[in-house]
Structure 1
């Protein structure tokens, strides 16, 4: 119990909140919600932690994917989360739900797209077209969430707005977004050595214009890399996300690193140290706060975050599938 709680505070609290209430960052769901925790089987919860949600801020935490936890630790954490939630598990049917996809598509646009995105990619609510989610979520699990909502969140219950037939149509449409996915292991990249922490060590020092004395526009960072300016880039997401894809030259300094180790190998001179994460600020803010506490003055956070960096067409590199 103690170890599981320690791991929660270290790895999960940043987004899911100190008391599992959700919404601390990245619109992370409440892990206290009765409708969620009573219907999510233990293996589904553990798989969500271990394999994450590709293309979202929920990273894989399994060591085989470059994360910080063993499968035993992940199941221990999942058991602790179920225990702390304190809700009796509801056994849902494993049978597929049939419905009219055209009607379901229209209902999704009317009822769901505002929060989940027109393509179910996730905006202010989870991505429902995510292959990792759909690989584990049963039809009954999806329908139960639509019908009953998620307590203490913006996800309201639709059982009084939609008929059972409409709920089936909407569920069938969400299920139709499934595409083939498997938690494929990746060839993990070697971690950089301290001698390689500075990108373009012979380059000129860039000029950055910070917002709120902290945030630097990504276009300024992209320009500095293109001009081969001297800079240190910190990827403050989980190490598994760094393995999957990162900005060229970035070194993994995950948000859960200890304050004693955060500055190890980093120059404390006039070299700019720029951090980024997916949130786009929560994880990188935490690391920059630790560095500034240690006297690092030339530090900043990429304002728009990693996903917007990708969407803007800026370069990334990462491991490849085995």
Structure 2
């Protein structure tokens, strides 16, 4: 008997068996797990009121010269006070003293109210808090560093390595700040100065000399820098008068208008201003620096008109075509800001006293002191 029909029958039935096995009594399908709920993100940290207050105060009083992020060199040679290497060695006391006391005789104003500036202690602390928030390096304690060096040997090295930027007497230049002011020496320890010379300030014109100079030579440099301490040679006459009243802003109100020849439709020479004052010409002169600077010494008849209070002060200026001149110590940053703002408000006869207050003082032109209010 042939088995072929039986085999064929089995082969035909096989798919049905397989299908029955696949669709028969199998284990029920396991349901997919529910989706994992998203992990809730941590709540945002509440804003720090002190930090925000400091940020606002910094923008108003400091950014013009030091830059909007404290990067420095926005005006003249204002240093990079947000530089990580600087913040690592400048403690809060150093920063606070620099803000409150400033560097009289330089473009760095004394901002504390004790000196006639606009900042109360709380505002100073808030600015310090903001600057500290910019730090990206851990603090380095340099207060206990002891230095023993030779002024004579340091002088030779200073002449080779430092004088081009910091000046023969440490007075500073277009690329470096003064390192001779008594307020700096009062706040900066030997370790602060030594660490700066050794490591420099990355991202600024200040290089580090630790890889080039022996340790003793750096100590000698510190000793010489200490010997440079002196007040800027810009004496002022005794005085102490309060600022002129709103009715007395115009100097020589009955005089004729001056005939200034401006440079770039913007700058008037200091010599021309002095001559116009001696001739009794009608004008307004605005001191664009902080009020403490006006009190410390200003051009006779000048009114304090700080660059950070333009909106309030501009309402009191004459709109009759009287010449309005502004000056500062930068020599153009603050005064240029004031003149730009006044021109935007429609004051056409405005100009900057080109060389600034330090030229005026250095040439022995008349200076008055005042009492800031």
CA contact (8 A) 2:103 2:109 kept: yes
1:18/1:146 Cα in 2 relative to 1: closer, same or farther (>3 Å)? same
Unaligned runs of 5+ in 2: 1-50, 232-237
Deviation, structure 1 residue 179: 5.5
Partners of 2:62 and 2:116 in 1: CA distance = 16
CA contact (8 A) 1:262 1:287 kept: no
Deviation, structure 1 residue 88: 1.8
Partners of 2:136 and 2:308 in 1: CA distance = 27
1:213 maps to 265
Deviation, structure 1 residue 296: 0.7
1:54 maps to 104
Deviation, structure 1 residue 178: 3.5
Report 1:1-322 matches (<5 A).
1-124=51-174, 125-178=176-229, 189-259=241-311, 261-319=312-370
Partners of 2:297 and 2:151 in 1: CA distance = 35
2:39 maps to none
Partners of 1:299 and 1:276 in 2: CA distance = 11
2:36 maps to none
CA contact (8 A) 2:239 2:369 kept: no
Partners of 1:140 and 1:179 in 2: CA distance = 20
1:179/1:291 Cα in 2 relative to 1: closer, same or farther (>3 Å)? closer
Deviation, structure 1 residue 162: 0.9
Deviation, structure 1 residue 31: 2.1
| Secondary structure in 2 matching 1:168 | helix
Partners of 1:251 and 1:179 in 2: CA distance = 29
Partners of 1:271 and 1:258 in 2: CA distance = 18
Deviation, structure 1 residue 270: 2.1
Partners of 1:187 and 1:61 in 2: CA distance = 21
TM-score normalised by structure 2 residue count: 0.81
- The Cα offsets for residues 73-102 of structure 1, whole Å up to 9 and x where unpaired, read as 102211220122233211114354111110
CA contact (8 A) 1:231 1:271 kept: yes
CA RMSD of aligned residues (A): 1.8
CA contact (8 A) 2:243 2:370 kept: no
Deviation, structure 1 residue 258: 4.1
| Secondary structure in 2 matching 1:38 | helix
Deviation, structure 1 residue 282: 0.8
Partners of 1:150 and 1:262 in 2: CA distance = 39
CA contact (8 A) 2:149 2:216 kept: yes
Partners of 2:54 and 2:169 in 1: CA distance = 36
Partners of 2:157 and 2:295 in 1: CA distance = 38
Runs of 4+ residues deviating >6 angstroms: none
- The Cα offsets for residues 121-166 of structure 1, whole Å up to 9 and x where unpaired, read as 1112111111110011000100100111112111111112211010
Partners of 1:190 and 1:280 in 2: CA distance = 24
TM-score normalised by structure 1 residue count: 0.94
1:75/1:187 Cα in 2 relative to 1: closer, same or farther (>3 Å)? farther
Partners of 2:230 and 2:144 in 1: CA distance = 19
Unaligned runs of 5+ in 1: 181-185
Q: Which has the larger radius of gyration?
A: 2
